[in-house]
Structure 1
Amino acid sequence: RAHGLAAGGEWAVDVVAAVPVDTLELELPAALDLARAARALRDDPLLDGHVLVHGYEGPDTWLDVAGTPFRVRRALDAGGGVLRGLLRVSGTTRLTLFAPGSRAGVDIVVLADSSSSMSVDDLPAPEEVRWRPGRRGRPRLTRMEALKDALHAMIDARMLHGAGVGTRFALLRFDVATAPVFPPHEGMEEVGDAAAATRLRQAVTLLNFRDQGTDIGQALHRAGELLHRYGSPDNERLIVLVSDGAHVPQFAEERSGESVQGTQDPVALMEELHTGLGIRLHTVGISAPDYFDQWWLGQRAAWGSRWTRQPPLGLVPNHALLGELAAAAGGDRQRIGGVEVLERYFAELGSGVERAVGTPGSGPLPPLQPPTAWQRLTVRAERAGTVPAEEWRALAQALLQAYSRVVRTSLPRLGYHLLAPTGWDRLRHLESRARDLDSFSAWVSHAYKILNEPLPEALRRPHRHDPARFDLPGLVAPFADGRTSELHELRNYLHHRRDDPKYAKGNRLAGEIIRRHTGTYAPEDDDEVAWSRLQLGLTRNLTAVFEEAAEILDRPPLTPEHEAGAADGADDGERREGPPPPDPAGPRLVQGYS
């Protein structure tokens, strides 16, 4: 009914082919820096062939990569169009990482083309742009006007989202020469407060084109010098080249032969900056052939006898060189287009930075793990219909051991117990066998209080929270598929009036859980086989979840400083989810149950 399906209607199931993804943009997890996250994505052979559903309204889509969740921001086709629906990651999918400004320090030099071709007004102005101050409803913008609007969008985004700790910025204009725009002197400056943002806005406002050619090579050389001399050693280094694409250097006689040789080939220079200094490059191509062709046809009257079908080469947008430069500097995606493309890119740059990672790993798949003893017992029990007493006890003890391991490993790793240490007088109830509805209800109540209720909110209801905000983001993955929430749904179902309309949705969820484990929605109250199977299924799932959680807690920390702070219980002012450490004077603790 919630999806508009009428009761009693006909149903059909169709086979739908997953659409291959050309570019998959993921968000940098809080637990990793850019280098580690990129390495994790490149080294994971399980990404190739992964199928996901993305692009619909609802919870965010997450990919688990080696135990760390990555949020999916966008999936694109080869033409840059946004994909929605059933999607497939392939061995040729280009992976990119978006690092929010608050999580990654990035030193940025923006190179703004100010050659004479930037005066061409071949960019259609969207309706909301036409009536900005000074535009008077003009239907087209010059390339320089579009660039300045985009830079203002970047400043707005940086003030909204924060620039990141230690992030430095410089804006240079270039034609045949390069000159600083912001800061007005040689160097770089942080743009983290309103005063600095105002100075940058004023500098952008004064940016204009000149009647000169274009030398992209010497502009890249100057930007590389700035990042090398004034950038922070711990920050990412990025050059953003914004141009309509022509490279027509004019070398003055007073330049040394060495300098001329170094900038005549901008692609070789950019490759050297990338490999030698770790500098990355984003290229943004202003205008497009379709825009220009339409504009040039409309210039016949204005140009008079000087107009020819073949326009001056220096005015035609040519982005081939920009693509070669991007490939030489790590392969980050190139952007080409008009006002919308420029403003979208610079708004994103203001809130963070995107980095190309490469394609998914193609190494050997991890070996299949042999089933554990409790898994073998589970299979035999399911085939038999009911569980012999000694085998049920072994299954219950496997759950208790997994619980105990989580209790024991979480304190040194997180600084608090993920599950509350519990005395044997309560734990023993988890070994009680369910023989009917009443005994199963009692078991669910005890299991919920011990294994679900003490969990931090981010693990009890992971779909409502950003995993990146949890103390150990990778720990969210085992809890995100609903195995532990089954306890919550069944407890509510068993303890509320089932005929109350306000519980109808919860009752349907509980019915699905019961059917999944027993094959029927509503077992009879005295159906021992059904209730024991349901108990068996829940026990199996809970054991698996807590074994996976314990494995993650046992791994070496990904961020030693954070882990050390959590382990000694220091209050560093950061938001921390989860309960405080227990009172040592409390009841007898079972931390090493066996």
Structure 2
Amino acid sequence: MSLPGFAPDNTRLITATGQGLVAGNRLALSARRLPAETAGVLLPRGAGSDRSVAVRLVPVPELPEDVLVVPEQLALEYGLADAPWKLSAVEAAVPATVELESPAELSLDEATRRVQNSPLLSGHVFAYGDGQGQADEWIDVGGHPFRVRSVTDRSGQALNGVLSIGSETRIGVFAPGVRSAVDIVVLADCSGSMGANDIPDVREGFRIRKDLRVTRMEALKRALRTMIDARAQVDGLVTRFALVRFDLTTQVLFPGRDGMAEVTTAPGDRSLEQLRGAVTLLKHGDQPTDIGKALHRAGELLYRHGVPDNDKLIVLVSDGAHWAPMSEDRSGESVAGTEDPVSTMEELHTELGIRLHAVGISDQTLFGRWWDDYCKQQKVRLQPPQHLIPNHELLQQLVDVAGGDRHRIGGVEVLEEYFAELGSGVVRSVGAPAQRRLPALQLDPGAVTAAARRTTVDPSRRELWETRVETVLGLYSEICAASVPRLGYALFDAAPPADLQRLRRIALSHMDFTAWLAAADKVFHERIHKSVRFPKSDPKYVAKLPLPALVEPLWDGRLGEVHGLRNFFLHNPEHEKRTEEQNRQVGEVLLKHTGKYAVGEEDAEGWQRLQGGLLGNLSAVLADVLDLLVSPPPGQGEPAPAPVEPTAPVEPTAPAAPAAAAGVRLMQQGW
């Protein structure tokens, strides 16, 4: 699906601030143009970049048909005021699971609570895993950023592209080991079917040989060693561990006595070494499987020997041998009926808060390839023995009743990935997201309509502004050419054409002015040679410059106004840390250029006066600099002009005038 006509040539872009519907990556459109909420892709095309942004498009009946409301922060970040853009609706895949990593400042309990209660997760749109080195994806939950660790479909495969969290999506929260304490019992299936060698041998991400395979038991042991190596890198909270082998019976292999033990990296502690030894003792036998009895044993260990406030987790690793009751005339491996596994696990979760992760070894595809190869080698056509066929139906049912934690299926690489994560942290299931509740649009539709009408600039004022900007750009170009022969280097590095083009824009609002100010600072401050970028108080430093007299126009405060206001408006747009002195300094600059201490958000006249004053500063400074560069050097023995006492630039970090909780700003495109 596409949204024809949503482009700068005929769409008025309005920005919104404060709390409300339009925030983060949520955009609002007229319901006459967008019949239902959907995912979208916003493609800014400025500054030499074609970065796409996944957005959530929400229809609002009261909005004008040709208006798009975007969050101010998103508009600033992607330069929507100064470059072409395109908006399209797309079909987003709905993940079966999404795993989020909690931020460092939150405990696992608090992180889980916030995710569980967030009304904005259901329907949230994000882009993930495009395979092109995409940076980490973050989801804001109640003001805290959670990193997306993994996204999978119903088959457990990773999902990429534009995604939307659905009402059935299962959410998990991961906390690294340094911030989470968890007691873990690993149940290792040692029944006869674990001897099947249908697992491709994968090391360092590569197949050793096409026909080389290892047994399911060997794959499990490799994965457990990976977990131990990961745990050795983490000095986290106190964690207790037990390794239990099971078939028809159960046996605790670690610790050596019946119970659980801490696994630490403390000097002189042999727990990791002992755990490695226990893994070596794992081997498959010829018995069937009693998963119910194994779960009961694990629950008993966690109840009797776990740390009271720690999370409690059972990790069941099995090939999922056929578990349905078998008649007397059938043979092969099955789950014995001592304990009903599903009801046992449900009771452990409900009564004791014990969670379960299930890791299924092998799958139908791996087994099918192995069995086909076996039949070809033997030159026979046989049906495979039922007890060898991997079946993860029971594992999934156990996960469903135990908090919905992860269920993974596969070979060596899947096992090693899971256990590496288990060694470094813990995942807690949240379940499905809370019911979707979007806040109301924070803008008054009447104000939006009024702001949308302000789309033109008086032609005579535009012409005068263009002339003044051309003068400044001409001086800038001449300085770039004249400074190399006089100084030995360019006083200004060449600025990108997109930044120079932004200087031509006349401000219609605070938003427009801020975008212009950012471009001016990039061209005339960030790209000036480092030797004169900031005032230095040491006269000896100034005397060593190729042309010391340059510091007088560059350090007299006129350029400092541009840089100081840039920090003022962009470093802290939410006005959280302003001081009285910072507000006073900026108020004086505003008074100097506009005749008043504060400029309203939509006061186009005021912002244009301030813009014009700063442009005049730039023109005068550049003219003075060019005069010095092209003037004859001082005669032999004639002293150079004494350096001026530097005037500190304005450096506050918040606007002088308090901003409204929510604002309406028009972003004019082009001329």
Counterpart of 2:479 in structure 1 is none
8 Å CA contact 1:75, 1:82 repeated in 2:
yes
Counterpart CA distance in 1 for 2:419 and 2:204 is 18
Counterpart of 1:98 in structure 2 is 174
> Is 1:192 the counterpart of 2:264 in the alignment?
yes
8 Å CA contact 2:125, 2:165 repeated in 1:
yes
8 Å CA contact 1:20, 1:90 repeated in 2:
no
8 Å CA contact 2:122, 2:435 repeated in 1:
yes
Counterpart CA distance in 2 for 1:450 and 1:365 is 32
8 Å CA contact 1:154, 1:348 repeated in 2:
yes
Q: Could you give the per-residue CA deviations for residues 318-347 of structure 1, whole angstroms, max 9, x where no partner exists? A: 111111111010111211111111111111
Counterpart CA distance in 2 for 1:84 and 1:296 is 32
Q: 1:106 to 1:525 in 2, by over 3 A?
A: closer
RMSD: 4.7
Q: 1:364 to 1:289 in 2, by over 3 A?
A: closer
8 Å CA contact 1:176, 1:215 repeated in 2:
yes
Counterpart of 2:320 in structure 1 is 245
Deviation for aligned residue 1:189: 1.1
> Is 1:124 the counterpart of 2:196 in the alignment?
no
> Is 1:311 the counterpart of 2:390 in the alignment?
no
| Secondary structure, counterpart of 1:26 in structure 2 | strand
Counterpart of 1:41 in structure 2 is 115
Deviation for aligned residue 1:105: 0.2
Counterpart of 1:143 in structure 2 is 216
8 Å CA contact 1:124, 1:140 repeated in 2:
yes
Deviation for aligned residue 1:228: 0.3
Counterpart of 1:349 in structure 2 is 422
> Is 1:322 the counterpart of 2:407 in the alignment?
no
State the AA in 1 paired with 2:92.
V
Counterpart of 1:527 in structure 2 is 612
Match of 2:291 among 208, 212, 216: 216
8 Å CA contact 1:94, 1:358 repeated in 2:
yes
How many residues get paired?
414
Match of 1:273 among 325, 329, 348: 348
Q: 1:86 to 1:223 in 2, by over 3 A?
A: same
Q: Could you give the per-residue CA deviations for residues 270-305 of structure 1, whole angstroms, max 9, x where no partner exists? A: 00000000000000111111222232334448889x
Segment of structure 1 superposing worse, 239-248 or 10-19: 10-19
State the AA in 1 paired with 2:241.
F
Counterpart CA distance in 1 for 2:104 and 2:85 is 42
| Secondary structure, counterpart of 2:406 in structure 1 | coil
| Secondary structure, counterpart of 2:347 in structure 1 | helix
Q: 1:77 to 1:544 in 2, by over 3 A?
A: farther
| Secondary structure, counterpart of 2:278 in structure 1 | helix
Gapped regions of structure 1 (runs ≥ 5): 251-259, 386-394, 396-437, 461-477, 481-486, 495-515, 549-594
Q: 1:42 to 1:180 in 2, by over 3 A?
A: same
What is the 5 A alignment of 1:130-529? 139-160=212-233, 162=234, 164-193=236-265, 195-246=270-321, 263-300=338-375, 309-362=382-435, 364-366=437-439, 527=612
Deviation for aligned residue 1:203: 1.2
State the AA in 2 paired with 1:91.
S
Counterpart CA distance in 2 for 1:125 and 1:517 is 66
Segment of structure 1 superposing worse, 192-201 or 48-57: 48-57
Q: Could you give the per-residue CA deviations for residues 352-407 of structure 1, whole angstroms, max 9, x where no partner exists? A: 12222112211544456688xxx99x979x8999xxxxxxxxx9xxxxxxxxxxxx
Deviation for aligned residue 1:518: 10
Q: 1:177 to 1:163 in 2, by over 3 A?
A: farther
8 Å CA contact 1:130, 1:139 repeated in 2:
no
Deviation for aligned residue 1:183: 0.8
Q: 1:228 to 1:368 in 2, by over 3 A?
A: same
Counterpart of 2:154 in structure 1 is 78
State the AA in 1 paired with 2:297.
R
What is the 5 A alignment of 1:21-32? 21-22=94-95, 23-32=97-106
Counterpart of 1:578 in structure 2 is none
| Secondary structure, counterpart of 2:103 in structure 1 | coil
Q: Could you give the per-residue CA deviations for residues 404-424 of structure 1, whole angstroms, max 9, x where no partner exists? A: xxxxxxxxxxxxxxxxxxxxx
Counterpart CA distance in 2 for 1:288 and 1:318 is 7
State the AA in 2 paired with 1:226.
L
Counterpart CA distance in 1 for 2:140 and 2:377 is 59
Q: 1:528 to 1:93 in 2, by over 3 A?
A: farther
8 Å CA contact 1:116, 1:212 repeated in 2:
yes
Deviation for aligned residue 1:200: 1.0
Counterpart CA distance in 2 for 1:67 and 1:204 is 43
| Secondary structure, counterpart of 2:317 in structure 1 | strand
- Quick check: which one's helix share is greater? 1
User: Is the radius of gyration larger for structure 1 or structure 2?
Assistant: 2
Structure 1 length-normalised TM:
0.59
Q: Could you give the per-residue CA deviations for residues 535-561 of structure 1, whole angstroms, max 9, x where no partner exists? A: 9xx97799569x89xxxxxxxxxxxxx
Counterpart CA distance in 1 for 2:615 and 2:347 is 68
Counterpart CA distance in 2 for 1:177 and 1:144 is 17
Q: 1:19 to 1:99 in 2, by over 3 A?
A: same
Counterpart of 1:87 in structure 2 is 163
State the AA in 2 paired with 1:349.
L
Counterpart CA distance in 1 for 2:210 and 2:567 is 65
Counterpart of 1:584 in structure 2 is none
8 Å CA contact 2:314, 2:354 repeated in 1:
yes
Q: 1:3 to 1:529 in 2, by over 3 A?
A: closer
Q: Could you give the per-residue CA deviations for residues 171-195 of structure 1, whole angstroms, max 9, x where no partner exists? A: 0000000001111211111111262
| Secondary structure, counterpart of 1:110 in structure 2 | strand
Counterpart CA distance in 1 for 2:557 and 2:109 is 53
Counterpart CA distance in 1 for 2:655 and 2:410 is 54
| Secondary structure, counterpart of 1:234 in structure 2 | coil
Counterpart CA distance in 2 for 1:138 and 1:383 is 69
Deviation for aligned residue 1:223: 0.3
> Is 1:63 the counterpart of 2:139 in the alignment?
yes
State the AA in 2 paired with 1:207.
L
Counterpart CA distance in 1 for 2:133 and 2:602 is 30
Counterpart CA distance in 2 for 1:261 and 1:287 is 21
Counterpart CA distance in 1 for 2:85 and 2:456 is 34
Deviation for aligned residue 1:27: 0.3
Q: 1:517 to 1:81 in 2, by over 3 A?
A: farther
Q: 1:4 to 1:276 in 2, by over 3 A?
A: closer
Deviation for aligned residue 1:527: 2.9
Counterpart CA distance in 2 for 1:220 and 1:247 is 17
Counterpart CA distance in 2 for 1:349 and 1:16 is 38
Counterpart CA distance in 2 for 1:288 and 1:335 is 10
